[in-house]
């Protein structure tokens, strides 16, 4: 199985995701990707900034990718657009 250096942001506290990023970097990863969508986007930005400024000063923001996903409802024919973000931290 290929090694995935990505942290998927959800509803947990911010420091849980910061710890996940720190753990990936200490295990030898050169890049960590932080992915979020919808309301979790602001939490993803917080994770990247806290990890970079407080705990890993040698880490830089490599690339930021934004986009939109179209989600279809279970019962209805209507679909909704959800914003996405991917922040790549590099050492």
Query: Which residue reads 């590099």 in tokens?
Result: 90
| Burial of 33: CB neighbours in 10 Å, binned 0-12, 13-18, 19+ | buried
Q: pTM for the complete prediction?
A: 0.89
pLDDT for the residue numbered 70: 92
Residue range(s) defining the domain that contains residue 24: 6-90
**Is there a domain that residue 64 lies in?**
yes
- CATH at 83: 3.30.110.20
33 within domain boundaries: yes
Helix (H), strand (E) at residue 52: none
Residues 67-84: pLDDT tens digits? 999 988 777 778 899 999
Average pLDDT over residues 16-33: 96
Please report whether residue 1 resides in a domain.
Answer: no
Number of compact structural domains in the chain: 1
In this structure, is residue 86 part of a structural domain?
A: yes
pLDDT at 2 over 50: no
pLDDT in tens, 28-64: 999 999 999 999 999 999 999 999 999 999 999 999 9
Q: CA-CA distances (angstroms) from residue 55 to 8, 41, 47, 50, 68? A: 19, 21, 11, 7, 31
CA dist list (Å): 48 to 25, 37, 74, 81? 13, 15, 33, 24
């Amino acid at each position: 199985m290929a090694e995935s250096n990505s942290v998927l942001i959800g509803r947990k506290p911010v420091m849980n995701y910061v710890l996940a990023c720190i753990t990936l970097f200490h295990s030898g990863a050169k890049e960590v990707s932080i992915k979020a969508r919808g309301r979790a986007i602001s939490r993803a930005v917080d994770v990247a900034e806290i990890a970079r400024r407080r705990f890993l000063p040698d880490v830089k923001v490599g690339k930021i990718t934004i986009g939109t996903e179209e989600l279809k409802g279970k019962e209805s024919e209507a679909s909704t657009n959800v914003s996405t973000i991917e922040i790549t931290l590099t050492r």
